[in-house]
Amino acid sequence: MRNSALLYTFNFEHLATFAHMRLERLSIINYKNIQATNLTLSPKMNCFIGHNGAGKTNLLDVIYYLSFCRSAFNSKDSEVIRHESDFFMLEGDYAADDDTHEQIYCGMKRGTKKHFKRNKKEYKRLSEHIGLIPLTFVSPADISVIEGGSDERRKLMDVVIAQYDRTYLDSLTLYNKVLQQRNSLLKQEDEPDLTLMELLEMQMAEHGEKVFTKRDAFVKELIPMFEEIYATISSSNERVSLGYSSHCQRGPLLEVIQRDRMKDRIMGYSLHGIHKDDLQMELGGFPIKREGSQGQSKSFVLALKLAQFKYLQRTAQDNTPLLLLDDIFDKLDASRVEQIVRLVSTDNFGQIFITDTNREHLDKILENSNFDYKLFAVEGGEVTERGQTDVQT
């Protein structure tokens, strides 16, 4: 077998030609445990060091929020407002290779709706913003992709596809709306109106097949990237596989939905459709949820996320995503840490934000690189810059 690390480097060489969007300045007021901070950031590597609970992950969540109009962890916007504060405010100044600039602002007072603006102009629909600043976030919470339900794995696909395909979210939203309406009919005590039921099923099938087609194409292209990256992280010592299952693979979705309408009526909800799609994740031919150690499961998810990064770099308007790495080294042996350090130390990535409680891991990355970086200490929600320098190998 060829050296996986060399193969990975070779396949990434052409990516350096893609455009880069960089976050130059970040302003935060009253976001979770961060009262107020203004950061000037490195165009390459930004490292945040601090104990657990210090606020490192909250900083990354702010950057995620400015890309996705929401927190990666909190479903309600009011939950991110700092305790005993009445509002929160985020502002990011971005610059691209062609010297164009973007100012992204979000602010919200308790009890009111949030305001999200691009260059001081408020969005009419937040979905218009998704994809402008592509981003891949790797977090310990990602283990839910393996240990959680199928909704976690569908969300993993949705977050990537929505960043490069503006129509995807529309199809998914319309599907979920019709699904909800059909489920309401199914729950009725009286026999539902057949004409309305058939109309809803036709709409479910129409929107669902659009979603399926895009998910299927995404997974097929992602698989070889994922397998290659995992081979690098594991030094080719383990075999993993990734597969996609959907009721759309059984035939026309309308037929699949209508076939079990009576069973759906008994259950009171729709048993078939793209809301049941799933990813099969295996290690050595067996489900990784059952067979994988903590280190193997973490390596699996990390490889999946880095494959998403590589995929987005090729699809999201040829714009290199920001890469957020939150506490990625925990539960990994020294060999896997070394391989990951090699990967993220190359010039093939754009701007990186990385957190760790252990300064040693980050020192390994920095001492083996020749790029610009900044180091920040985080304690009790306060962020202090520890200096900026160029490290020469």
Q: How confident is the model at residue 390 (pLDDT cuts 50, 70, 90)?
A: very low
d(CA 76, CA 81): 10
Average pLDDT over residues 78-100: 94
- 330 or 353: which carries more pLDDT confidence? 353
Average pLDDT over residues 141-153: 95
Residue 380: pLDDT above 90?
yes
d(CA 58, CA 44): 20
Average pLDDT over residues 298-326: 88
Give the chain's domains with CATH numbers. Answer: 18-134+318-392 (3.40.50.300), 149-315 (1.20.1050.90)
Per the annotation, does 56 bind a ligand? yes
d(CA 246, CA 274): 6
Average pLDDT over residues 252-278: 96
Per the annotation, does 107 bind a ligand? no
Mean residue pLDDT across the chain:
89
Residue whose pair of structure tokens reads 């099969």 in the numeric block: 280
Per the annotation, does 387 bind a ligand? no
Per the annotation, does 57 bind a ligand? yes
Other Cβ atoms within 10 Å of 250 Cβ, number: 12
DSSP state of 17: G
Per the annotation, does 92 bind a ligand? no
The per-residue pLDDT for 361 is 74
Per the annotation, does 55 bind a ligand? yes
The per-residue pLDDT for 359 is 78
What confidence tens digit (pLDDT) does each residue in 351-369 have? 999 998 877 777 777 776 6
End-to-end CA distance of the chain: 30
pTM of the model: 0.86
